[in-house]
Structure 1
């Protein structure tokens, strides 16, 4: 039996930290390791995963029961799997991932302690009547606020309901800052633990007419001879910083990356150009027979820019993400999928497109919560004291709408 203090120490050590942050301390004080359902509500990048890891270790090492870590997207599942494997296999924790074929019951999962799944795959496993379901002692529902989502909410609700009927596990929900967390906590008979603490101060603003107004109050003025979007990118790389740019469609994210490459490459040094050339070759030959998309991506990377979306091979996405973390790729243009949990912070986040097509209601503005999650990627805790998130407005009326609904609005 390992003491709670030792479990906390193991998680800190594996994560490269010496002390807990305020959100993690609050979770422990609120009874995280005392065997009750809990919802952790805190901003993006505030260390919620580490909170889950403490309870996961206790469940596996002390109670000898399985943990299911459930995420909404396959890309997040892959990232979490790699992270948990690297951190906890040395403690004897057997980590597995199951996100693929929905027709398979994956019987081999029975011999693993920590199973990372997508919500849809967990739904499929339960429909196959997996025999190890009654061994689950903890279910971690990452992005539990998606219970409210018309697309993903119903499946998540069914999975949580069935699991609670089968093995009555502890449920730990991790949520971005949403207004309905008390309602979710009530449904799960869980304690809601809410914190607004963020590791890096966030300035959120709207760009219109070559000027950005931020909250908290400050502003920047842009060179009027250049398009504002291009000027924000130029200014970012000139400062030696990086930016994540969210664009509504795969096609548009690719064409934006190609255009921005011409700006970014002027600010690369000789060593960076050499490394990017090498990286571009690796990305090009990820597939045995490179596609035209592989060729376009490879050309962008030579210029220090990459596009990132679900149409890329997972190995290409991983190469891009690692090169961005290392500071080699300066700009990523991405579809909003990247905001939903993948840990890829940048000094500046630019949301170029605030509208997208939905099967439910045609073209409409993105929900406030999604925009806040994108903005939450601004500011790298290890490097920056602050981060900037900038929403691009097309006219004065839209600038006012973005300010009132997103900058000042609550999810």
Structure 2
């Protein structure tokens, strides 16, 4: 069937001219009905075209399509790939965590592309103007719906799709690699039999042979990597010698580079003829690569690919691999989910990887099957070969996976408490009956019906009821005698920041402490359940001990390591022993610090929030206490902040007063200095006018005064607190844009010679130091 005959107005949106057998069979159900669709098919059989057909139907009806991709890296690929829709006059917009959301572009887009996590965030905030676009979606296309079975991300996808269906019930088109229990997914999504498609291995364009190969596990993990590498090269060698290609999956970006280096030496040793030394054009093209190691490697026929490479380098590697110029390619698993780069032979060298937050972790069965599915080049090979290299102890597990496949399970049970709280926080659940109705919309409920013994279906409702009672007891949810339920401030904050509920409990407890310190803020974040799986290696213990020397902390193991990294990060002095995990840990900590700041603002007040905000800025920028306020100036990062602080300029006000000349003396160019001074003027600058405040008051006398607090420049939300002799008299929070007055009572106590009044202004949302003004009154 010609594309131009099936969808004439969208023929240019496809990268080919004719649909294959699988696509032809699914096409009527997608184009000629409005039913929900579930289609499973082998990897590389052309499922992307089914997604594009669903999008075409939606666009033809003036609707909006939402495409949920399994990885953030793939959202950018789709944006580039679907410029074909842009050329037809339709707008494609990616909603991802990498870029600031443009609500107007999102609202006007015809095709939205996002990840499960970002779709979850948008649906939680659907009633805000910023995210209202999510409720205008007419069709949701879920790419790789078997992601439901992912321990880390499956529950997010499940509740997001269920929520979208409760909010506006769009059409759902779910695509998947082969899965044995497709009927359960179809039942969950209400896809009828006529639009549930299970395409078996006979639809694979190339037959696939798979197997498991073992290696002798030693005591040295570094040596084990090379044992597995040599095993992988043994498996790839015969195919590469026959002008085939091999794709070897390894566990990390760094490993792709190291494995490629070692493989080049080994290929030379084995005299395997795969280099392109006679191809002068290719040599000249290779010189344009920005990655030095890659540039040296590709002309020897060996390449590597990971998300950390520049886009142009990645594009070139993919193109050269398709052209056969690169014979042996090392990659991370991202490539298995994204770019269609088949190879005659696929080898999974690493079945485990190091996760900074989880320690040593098995790659998921879904990833294994997805990687192996890349074996076999349509049009070139009759058979593809896929191998898993693993320790003997794991061999039977992987053989069973290759033989029987993997049923898709729900992962919601492990996160039921937090996801139920999120639904209540949104206001979509208002009573016990709503809870039960929500439960029945989940894949969890369908799987429990399908496997009642494994999921303990008989007690499922009781467990959900117990979970709800736990949320009420812990203050996340409020309930009355009529079983009406509503979210509390605590529940809303936990949902807003995607916190584990035990972390939200910790944050709430910290707000009750009378005295907060930098260390207590960082310890609370480091103790969060989000860091439970962080592992502290023995080689890191000395570095951790040095950082924490002299500090009294009850934290242990991984949490102690997180505390050390955050403390060292504030001073931009993280030891090399801890740097491999530091970036991921700091990024997660910044999210938690932002949440903690708002918790403290709500439950302890703006002074506590300001401390957390300053700690967050120090962790983010790696600056000293003296320099942190300068990071509030637009365009001032860690380097400039420290340079200004060293010059004695420790606040935006000081920068404005000093002028551009002082900044030039501190080593900045004239244009940069002028720009920073202008930006500093936008920061709030506070003036306190005591007015007719008395210098003295007689014993027993009272006088009511008004103190004016105003912004000389800028504006901000502020907390204003007045104390007398360290006892709080009044406290208020207000958005200060101009002037406000604070009533202050002056009285003459018999037991004091003088009264020290302090007006303190703090900024709960900015890393500025508190502003204090004092006035002393004599008691006569």
1:268 to 257, 269, 275: 275
Alignment check: 8 A CA contact 2:248 2:349 kept? yes
C-alpha distance in 2 between matches for 1:398 and 1:149: 20
Query: Which range moves more in the overlay, 309-318 or 333-342?
Result: 309-318
C-alpha distance in 1 between matches for 2:278 and 2:96: 39
Alignment check: 8 A CA contact 1:70 1:118 kept? yes
Query: What do the CA deviations read for 1:109-154 (whole angstroms, capped 9, x no partner)?
Result: 2222112222223333342552333432111011111122221123
Aligned CA distance change for structure 1 residues 150 and 97 (closer, same or farther; 3 Å): same
Aligned CA distance change for structure 1 residues 346 and 4 (closer, same or farther; 3 Å): closer
Alignment check: 8 A CA contact 2:376 2:382 kept? yes
C-alpha distance in 2 between matches for 1:110 and 1:158: 23
C-alpha distance in 1 between matches for 2:135 and 2:397: 49
Find the structure with the greater CA-based Rg.
Answer: 2
User: How does 1:330-369 map onto structure 2 within 5 Å?
Assistant: 330-357=327-354, 363=360, 365-369=362-366
C-alpha distance in 1 between matches for 2:215 and 2:356: 32
User: How does 1:71-150 map onto structure 2 within 5 Å?
Assistant: 71-86=69-84, 88-101=85-98, 104-126=101-123, 127=125, 129-150=130-151
- The secondary structure found in structure 1 opposite 2:334 is helix
Alignment check: 8 A CA contact 1:103 1:124 kept? no
C-alpha distance in 1 between matches for 2:116 and 2:11: 25
Alignment check: 8 A CA contact 1:81 1:95 kept? yes
Aligned CA distance change for structure 1 residues 96 and 165 (closer, same or farther; 3 Å): same
C-alpha distance in 1 between matches for 2:260 and 2:285: 16
Q: Give the structure 1 partner of residue 371 of structure 2.
A: 374
Q: Give the structure 2 partner of residue 170 of structure 1.
A: 171
**Greater relative contact order (Cα 8 A, min sep 6): structure 1 or 2?**
1
| Alpha-carbon distance, 1:373 to partner | 0.8
| Alpha-carbon distance, 1:170 to partner | 0.4
Alignment check: 8 A CA contact 2:365 2:401 kept? yes
Aligned CA distance change for structure 1 residues 77 and 315 (closer, same or farther; 3 Å): same
- The secondary structure found in structure 1 opposite 2:341 is coil
Alignment check: 8 A CA contact 2:64 2:110 kept? yes
Alignment check: 8 A CA contact 1:139 1:170 kept? yes
Alignment check: 8 A CA contact 2:95 2:101 kept? no
Alignment check: 8 A CA contact 1:244 1:334 kept? yes
Query: Which range moves more in the overlay, 228-237 or 238-247?
Result: 228-237
- The secondary structure found in structure 1 opposite 2:288 is helix
C-alpha distance in 1 between matches for 2:20 and 2:183: 25
C-alpha distance in 2 between matches for 1:17 and 1:383: 19
C-alpha distance in 1 between matches for 2:350 and 2:240: 21
Query: Which range moves more in the overlay, 337-346 or 125-134?
Result: 125-134
Query: What do the CA deviations read for 1:13-65 (whole angstroms, capped 9, x no partner)?
Result: 833242431x223323546530011111111111111112112111102x101
Output the aligned Cα RMSD. 3.0
C-alpha distance in 2 between matches for 1:193 and 1:12: 26
C-alpha distance in 1 between matches for 2:30 and 2:67: 20
| Alpha-carbon distance, 1:280 to partner | 3.4
Q: Give the structure 2 partner of residue 296 of structure 1.
A: 293
- The secondary structure found in structure 1 opposite 2:212 is strand
Q: Which runs of 5+ in 2 are unaligned?
A: 217-228, 407-780
- The secondary structure found in structure 2 opposite 1:267 is coil
Aligned CA distance change for structure 1 residues 74 and 13 (closer, same or farther; 3 Å): closer
| Alpha-carbon distance, 1:321 to partner | 1.4
Alignment check: 8 A CA contact 1:105 1:125 kept? no
C-alpha distance in 2 between matches for 1:228 and 1:151: 30
Q: Give the structure 2 partner of residue 238 of structure 1.
A: 241
C-alpha distance in 1 between matches for 2:233 and 2:353: 22
Q: Which runs of 5+ in 1 are unaligned?
A: 211-225, 285-293
Q: Give the structure 2 partner of residue 402 of structure 1.
A: 398
User: Are residues 1:68 and 2:66 paired?
Assistant: yes
C-alpha distance in 1 between matches for 2:147 and 2:68: 12
- The two structures have a TM-score, normalised by structure 1, of 0.82
| Alpha-carbon distance, 1:5 to partner | 5.5
- The two structures have a TM-score, normalised by structure 2, of 0.45
Query: How many aligned positions are there?
Result: 379
| Alpha-carbon distance, 1:72 to partner | 1.7
1:195 to 186, 199, 207: 199
C-alpha distance in 2 between matches for 1:19 and 1:12: 13
Q: Give the structure 1 partner of residue 628 of structure 2.
A: none
Query: What do the CA deviations read for 1:293-349 (whole angstroms, capped 9, x no partner)?
Result: x32232222322222223223332222212212222222111222212321111110
Query: What do the CA deviations read for 1:333-380 (whole angstroms, capped 9, x no partner)?
Result: 112222123211111101111233468975454333321111110112
Query: Which range moves more in the overlay, 128-137 or 326-335?
Result: 128-137
Q: Give the structure 1 partner of residue 661 of structure 2.
A: none
Q: Give the structure 2 partner of residue 387 of structure 1.
A: 384
2:213 to 207, 212, 219: 207
